[in-house]
């Protein structure tokens, strides 16, 4: 079965006003378990809207969205909050760590909210910290580590709940190119361990790490590319070319 099934999804903001905005007009795609998908498109194309609907933060105006067979559009606000905690992991451009908590407590936070026993939290953090290279900084505070290290902490926070789906919104947008590559290498390893990832990005370099890239234009899927056996460099060139065609309005 598909992990995520999206069919004829539409989203109109301010539907009842004189200026409705059709952010998503027709979006259909499926995601299989273990996939790593990048979503690209120009500013205003509808990427964040799509991500927010998958994240259960917003509701679609029409169409179907199922995650593991669960109809996300039928969830109440409380059910959606629970669903997010139990099934989704989030990574943001600006890390969104709480500076008043240690890195360790930031990572524990979703488990605290889910009332997971302390012994289980400690058991889960050890292998995660080792695989993400954060053992040395785990008892510092977010303000005492670099941006790349903060993003590693944020990745640990997203993964500690063992989510069905990891959603990343411009995860390298605030990082220099070397640090970005380190974070993207980590995503690669996380995906190789079976984690399904959907990443919104403006960066062809970042998208080239994903195995499939969906291009969105004016609320519709314009094109998709598969990495296949391409090298990172070849695939990045393909992605850049497609973005250029899309920007120039080509078919």
Q: Catalog residues that contact ligand ATP under the rule CB under 6 A.
A: 13-14, 21, 23, 41, 43-49
| C-beta of 24 vs 134, nearer to ligand ATP | 24
Q: Residue 44 CB, nearest distance to ligand ATP (Å)? A: 4
Q: In terms of CB distance, is 57 or 109 closer to ligand ATP?
A: 57
- Taking the complex as a whole, the smallest distance from the CB of residue 247 to ligand ATP amounts, in Å, to 13
Nearer to ligand ATP among residue 47 and residue 124 (C-beta): 47
Which residue matches tokens 């590319």?
Answer: 225
Task: Output the furthest CA–CA distance in the chain (Å, rounded).
Answer: 56
Report in angstroms how near the CB of residue 51 gets to ligand ATP at its nearest: 8
Q: Which of 3, 42, 31, 38 is nearest to 184 (CA)?
A: 38
- Answer whether 149's CB lies under 8 Å from 118's CB: no
- For residue 166, give every residue at least 6 positions away whose Cβ sits within 8 Å of its Cβ, in sequence order, or none: 88, 89, 90, 91, 158, 159, 190, 195, 196, 197, 198
Q: Whole-number minimum distance, CB 50 to ligand ATP, in Å?
A: 7
Whichever of 70 and 240 has its CB closer to ligand ATP, that residue is: 240
Contact 64, 93 (CB under 8 A): no
């Amino acid at each position: 079965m598909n992990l995520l099934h999206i069919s004829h999804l539409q989203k109109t903001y301010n539907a009842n006003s004189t200026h409705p905005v059709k952010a998503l007009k027709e979006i259909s795609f499926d995601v299989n378990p273990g996939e790593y998908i990048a979503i690209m498109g120009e500013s205003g194309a509808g990427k964040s809207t799509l991500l927010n609907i998958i994240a259960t933060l917003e509701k679609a105006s029409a169409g179907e969205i199922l995650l593991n067979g669960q109809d996300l559009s039928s969830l109440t606000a409380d059910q959606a909050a629970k669903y997010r905690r139990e099934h989704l992991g989030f990574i943001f451009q600006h890390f969104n760590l709480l500076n008043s908590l240690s890195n360790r407590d930031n990572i524990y936070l979703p488990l605290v909210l889910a009332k997971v026993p302390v012994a289980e939290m400690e058991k889960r953090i050890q292998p995660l910290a080792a695989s993400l290279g954060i053992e040395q900084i785990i008892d510092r505070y977010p303000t005492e580590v670099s941006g790349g290290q903060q993003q590693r902490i944020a990745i640990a926070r997203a993964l500690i709940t063992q989510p069905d789906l990891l959603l990343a919104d411009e995860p390298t947008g605030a990082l220099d190119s070397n640090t970005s590559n380190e974070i993207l290498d980590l995503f690669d390893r996380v995906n190789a361990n079976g984690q399904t990832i959907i990443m919104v990005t403006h960066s062809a370099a970042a998208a080239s790490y994903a195995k499939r890239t969906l291009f969105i234009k004016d609320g519709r899927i314009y094109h998709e590319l598969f990495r296949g056996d391409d090298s990172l460099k070849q695939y990045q060139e393909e992605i850049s070319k497609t973005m250029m065609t899309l920007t120039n309005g080509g078919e």
